[in-house]
């Protein structure tokens, strides 16, 4: 009598299916490896998937609270500015640009401790932003007189962005320059505004008085 086979139709079909899947995967991988274009496409797809997953993870993280500090209005020397690098008790960050000082505390993710541009915190960032380098910051006052016009145009562009995003604090003082007393300046401004309003009211009164009365009156 012939010996019975241990294999059954079901197990045979399952084995055949696994072999077919294995062959398909092998041929698929070989096809990708053979073509550089396919390799590039696979790399792009993998990168897109990574960015999507990373963005979802970031969106689930709690947002950092932006510090709300009282507005500061005063001038600074280069030495005084160094204290405001984000490591103080209040975490305030000041950056000078083209002779002006700005409060960039709300941009701590860029200029705060450990951030990409932390080297500019509490310093004059003009030369660094003009030359696109982080090592060209001077410890003393920098008048930027040696920069070419093209570099100065870069500083002007950065200055426009700073004015739109951050609060102006005051001037970066030159050596020997006296600071501005902004409280007196503001008092003078409010007094001048009051005088202008008074003059406008007086002018309106004079006009009303000089209007000729009608015969009926």
Q: Tens digit of pLDDT for each residue in 162-182?
A: 999 999 999 999 999 999 988
Which pLDDT band holds residue 54 (cuts at 50, 70, 90)? Answer: confident
Place of tokens 């300046």: 185
Residue 212 domain flag? no
**Residue 177: per-residue pLDDT:** 94
Are 51 and 109 contained in the same domain?
no
Residue 140 domain flag? yes
What domain range is 153 assigned to?
76-169
Are 51 and 118 contained in the same domain?
no
Answer yes or no: is pLDDT of 97 > 90. yes
**Residue 48: per-residue pLDDT:** 81
**Residue 211: per-residue pLDDT:** 47
Are 80 and 138 contained in the same domain?
yes
Answer yes or no: is pLDDT of 11 > 80. no
Which pLDDT band holds residue 212 (cuts at 50, 70, 90)? Answer: low
| Region 55-59 average pLDDT | 62
Whole-prediction pTM value?
A: 0.57
User: In angstroms, rounded to a whole number, what is the distance separating the alpha carbons of residues 214 and 201?
Assistant: 24
Answer yes or no: is pLDDT of 189 > 50. no
Mean pLDDT of the chain: 78
| Region 45-57 average pLDDT | 77
Residue 85 domain flag? yes
Q: Which residue has the higher pLDDT, 41 or 154?
A: 154
Q: How many distinct structural domains can be found in the chain?
A: 2
**Residue 47: per-residue pLDDT:** 80
The DSSP symbol for 85 reads B
User: In angstroms, rounded to a whole number, what is the distance separating the alpha carbons of residues 19 and 68?
Assistant: 65
**Residue 67: per-residue pLDDT:** 62
Which H/E stretch holds residue 31? helix 9-34
Please enumerate in sequence order all residues whose Cβ is within 8 A of that of 61, keeping only pairs 6 or more positions apart, or say none.
none
Residue 157 domain flag? yes
Opening angle at CA 118, ends 114 and 120, nearest 5? 170
């Amino acid at each position: 009598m012939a010996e019975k086979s241990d294999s059954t139709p079901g197990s045979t079909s399952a084995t055949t299916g696994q072999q077919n899947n294995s062959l398909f995967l092998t041929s698929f991988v070989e096809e990708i490896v053979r073509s550089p274009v396919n390799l590039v496409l696979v790399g792009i797809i993998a990168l897109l998937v990574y960015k999507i997953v990373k963005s979802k993870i970031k969106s689930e993280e709690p947002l950092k609270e932006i510090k709300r500090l009282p507005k500061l209005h005063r001038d600074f020397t280069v030495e005084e500015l160094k204290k405001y690098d984000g490591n103080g008790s209040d975490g305030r960050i000041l950056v000078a640009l083209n002779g002006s000082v700005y409060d960039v505390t709300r941009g701590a993710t860029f200029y705060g401790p450990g951030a990409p541009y932390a080297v500019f915190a509490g310093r004059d960032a003009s030369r660094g932003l003009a030359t696109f380098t982080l090592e060209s910051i001077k410890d003393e006052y920098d008048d930027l007189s040696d920069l070419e016009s093209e570099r100065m145009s870069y500083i002007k562009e950065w200055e426009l962005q700073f004015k739109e995003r951050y609060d102006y604090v005051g001037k970066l003082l030159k050596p020997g320059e006296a600071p501005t007393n902004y409280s007196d300046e503001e008092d003078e401004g409010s007094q001048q505004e009051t005088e202008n309003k008074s003059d406008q009211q007086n002018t309106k009164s004079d006009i009303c008085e000089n209007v000729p009365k009608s015969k009926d009156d």
